[in-house]
C-alpha cells in the first residue's frame, strides 16, 4: 500500500467570498468530536463553532457598521456564527469539508 502525504498541509489558503477574501485552513480530524447517527457522522453544535473559529484565520476587505475594516476576533467570529451573518460561517465550514474531500477524491483516482 502506498500512502501519499506530500499533498497534505495545514496551511491556510485564500478564497473569494463575495467582494472580500477569507483565509481558511483545514480543521484536523483528530480534533473533531463526531457522533454516528443513522449511519452518518454528525458534528455536535459546539464543535462546529470551534471548527469555524479555527479555520477562519484572516480576512480582507471586510468592513463593519462604521465603514472601517472589521477586526477578526473570536468575539466577531462568535457573532457571525450565532447570527448566521452573510453566510460566512457556512462558507468556511463547507470549504473546510471541501478541502478534506479533495484529498480523498485524489486518492481514489
Dihedral of CA atoms 11, 32, 100, 43 in degrees, nearest 10, equals -130
Domain edges within the chain: 13-108
Q: CB 26: neighbour CB atoms within 10 A?
A: 22
| pLDDT tens column, 29-47 | 778 776 666 766 666 556 7
Q: What is the mean pLDDT of residues 63-76?
A: 96
Higher pLDDT, 3 or 73: 73
Question: Chain-wide mean pLDDT for the chain?
Answer: 86
Are 12 and 25 in contact by the 8 Å Cβ rule? The answer is: yes
Amino acid at each position: 500500500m502506498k500512502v501519499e502525504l506530500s499533498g497534505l498541509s495545514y496551511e491556510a489558503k485564500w478564497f473569494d467570498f463575495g467582494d472580500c477574501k477569507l483565509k481558511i485552513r483545514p480543521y484536523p480530524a483528530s480534533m473533531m468530536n463526531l457522533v454516528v447517527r443513522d449511519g452518518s457522522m454528525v458534528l455536535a453544535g459546539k464543535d462546529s463553532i470551534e471548527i469555524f473559529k479555527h479555520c477562519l484565520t484572516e480576512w480582507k476587505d471586510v468592513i463593519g457598521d462604521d465603514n472601517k475594516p472589521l477586526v477578526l476576533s473570536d468575539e466577531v467570529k462568535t457573532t457571525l456564527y450565532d447570527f448566521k451573518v452573510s453566510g460566512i460561517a457556512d462558507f468556511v465550514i463547507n470549504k473546510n469539508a471541501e478541502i478534506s474531500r479533495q484529498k480523498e477524491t485524489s486518492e481514489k483516482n
